[in-house]
Amino acid sequence: MPLRRIFGFGYDRLGRRALLYTLSFVLLVLTAAPLLGATRTAAAAEAAGSAKTSEGYVYVIPIQMEVANGLASFVDRAFAEAEGAGASLIVLDIDTPGGSLASAEDIGKRIRASKVETVAFVSGKAASAGAYLALNADRLVMSPGSTIGSAMVVNGSGQAVESPKIVSHWTSEMVAAAELNGRPPEIAAGMVDPERTVELKELGRTKAKGEIISLTAEEARKVGYADATAGSIGELLSESGLQDRSVVSLKPTILERVAQTVTQPGISTLLLIVGIAGILIELLVPGFGVPGIVGLAAFALYFFGQGIAGFAGMESIVFFIAGVALLVLEMFVPSFGILGLLGAAGIIGGIVTAAYDTGDAMRSLGWALLVALVLVVIVAYIFRRKGIWNRFILKDQLTSEQGYVPHADVRESWIGREGVAVSALRPAGIAEVDGKRIDVVTSGEFVDRGRRVRVTSTDGTRILVEEVR
């Protein structure tokens, strides 16, 4: 059913407003796309420039945040720059509580594929996914007071995940990372699986069931996990014979920091809620403007962040814009809902393909739609006097003040007038009153043709008469 049939006479304004927002979104995307391309081009140019001047430099890449989707794109860019510059060494400065296992696996692959020797320097804690990243490096150096381990799989609430399939997969990933450089695999397994019993002979203790392994810097050195300990990166370089090399410390750009923030599952879902709710509220509650602008900005930020992180391509944005355009077109072209369904599919496709994980994106979109609808209902109720329900109610009135004369008023003018029965009234028939033939009815008595009759009253659509005696 076309939207104009739902919203009635107000669809013209609704359609114009929706079209305006669609064009505004397209403008924002077209404005952001060159910026997005320029950011990547600048990073590539910076790497190319470094290649000419920084050969033999040591590149330090900080991993001092939660391991999330946006971090993978930063690490990939940093490794590409270091490799392009012909760096002698890449130092991963790790201090993280962990994070997304999927993101950790992607970063781990990038570390293993590095053309430059890598050293994981644990300056704080390398917990969970952080431990996995550290084990993928060619060497592992820890600062006094730092820790590594505690890689048990947990959900978003911090509760242990008991799925044997997930635990087994992550255990095998940790074991494989440990075996890369000859580290004891059973210790890596003990960092993940609390059900395993692991002998820690060098430490004189045993990891019992229900525990997970976490090692201090000294303990990690004793069991063969840490190759050395160092108080700083400078000390690490001195022990490696690279103290004369210049150090290039890489940091995420502002845009990469934005991407790391907005690509987090909770923030992405929040942006979708604001985007959906803002646009719907703007379309339903006239005269605001702010919800539409905020909703549009939320969608733009969602796609912009996913694009900076390297997840969303132009095809995702095209899907989304095409979906919105089809929904707008549904307002004007009756298509029995086909254009509306295609538009919804386009919007969903754009949002989902722009995300790092399709399954997570679908779940986020489902929750966002549910919460957004609740917000729309609440706002609609609060501002019900602003006209939202008037889209479903015809308020035009045909009053006598506007020149309209109801039929009842016309019939009432016949009361008291007399005429002649043109046909027999049994009890209904035709009478001629003041030269006009009208349909009349008696109260039940019969009146012969040619008799005089008088109009006594009008009742709904009837004109009642009686015989004049």
- Residue 94, amino acid: I
Range 409-416, long-range pairs (CB < 8 A, 24+ positions):
411/458, 411/463, 412/458, 414/438, 414/455, 414/458, 414/463, 415/455, 415/456, 415/457, 415/458, 416/454, 416/455
> Above 90 in pLDDT, residue 51?
no
> Above 50 in pLDDT, residue 12?
no
The rounded distance, in Å, linking the Cα atoms of 248 and 62 is 11
* Mean of all residue pLDDT scores within the chain: 79
User: What is the pLDDT, as a whole number, of residue 70?
Assistant: 75
DSSP 264: S
pLDDT band at 452 (very low <50, low <70, confident <90, very high): very high
In the block, residue with structure tokens 């942006």: 271
Range 36-42, long-range pairs (CB < 8 A, 24+ positions):
36/304, 36/307, 36/308, 39/253, 39/255, 39/308
408: which 2 tokens?
A: 């009842």
Selected from 3.20.20.210, 3.90.226.10, 3.40.50.150, 3.30.1490.20, the CATH number assigned to the domain covering 58-251 reads 3.90.226.10
In the block, residue with structure tokens 């992607």: 106
Lowest mean pLDDT among 63-77, 249-263, 452-466: 249-263
SS3 label, residue 154 = strand
Kindly calculate the radius of gyration of the chain based on its CA atoms and give it in whole angstroms: 38
The CATH topology of domain 407-467 is OB fold (Dihydrolipoamide Acetyltransferase, E2P) (2.40.50)
pLDDT band at 123 (very low <50, low <70, confident <90, very high): very high
> Above 80 in pLDDT, residue 264?
no
In the block, residue with structure tokens 């190319």: 48
User: What is the pLDDT, as a whole number, of residue 65?
Assistant: 83
E strand or H helix at 59, and its extent?
A: strand 58-63
SS3 label, residue 98 = coil
- Residue 373, amino acid: L
The rounded distance, in Å, linking the Cα atoms of 90 and 118 is 5
User: What is the pLDDT, as a whole number, of residue 186?
Assistant: 94
- Going from N- to C-terminal start, the domains of the chain cover 58-251, 256-384, 407-467
Residue-wise pLDDT tens digits, 78-89:
999 999 988 999
Q: How many CB atoms lie within 10 A of CB 399?
A: 10
**Residue 402 Rama label (left phi>0; alpha psi -120 to 50; beta):** alpha
Lowest mean pLDDT among 8-12, 226-230, 292-296: 8-12
162: which 2 tokens?
A: 């008991």
Closest CA to 170 of 112, 94, 101: 101
The rounded distance, in Å, linking the Cα atoms of 138 and 117 is 7
pTM of the model: 0.61
User: What is the pLDDT, as a whole number, of residue 239?
Assistant: 87
pLDDT band at 132 (very low <50, low <70, confident <90, very high): very high
Residue-wise pLDDT tens digits, 168-213:
999 999 999 999 989 999 999 999 988 899 999 899 999 888 899 9
pLDDT band at 302 (very low <50, low <70, confident <90, very high): confident
SS3 label, residue 193 = coil
pLDDT band at 44 (very low <50, low <70, confident <90, very high): very low
Is 438 or 388 the better-scoring residue by pLDDT? 438
The rounded distance, in Å, linking the Cα atoms of 449 and 368 is 76
pLDDT band at 397 (very low <50, low <70, confident <90, very high): low
Q: Assign 3-state DSSP to the chain and report helix, strand, coil percentages, each to 5.
A: 55, 15, 30
Is 269 or 411 the better-scoring residue by pLDDT? 269
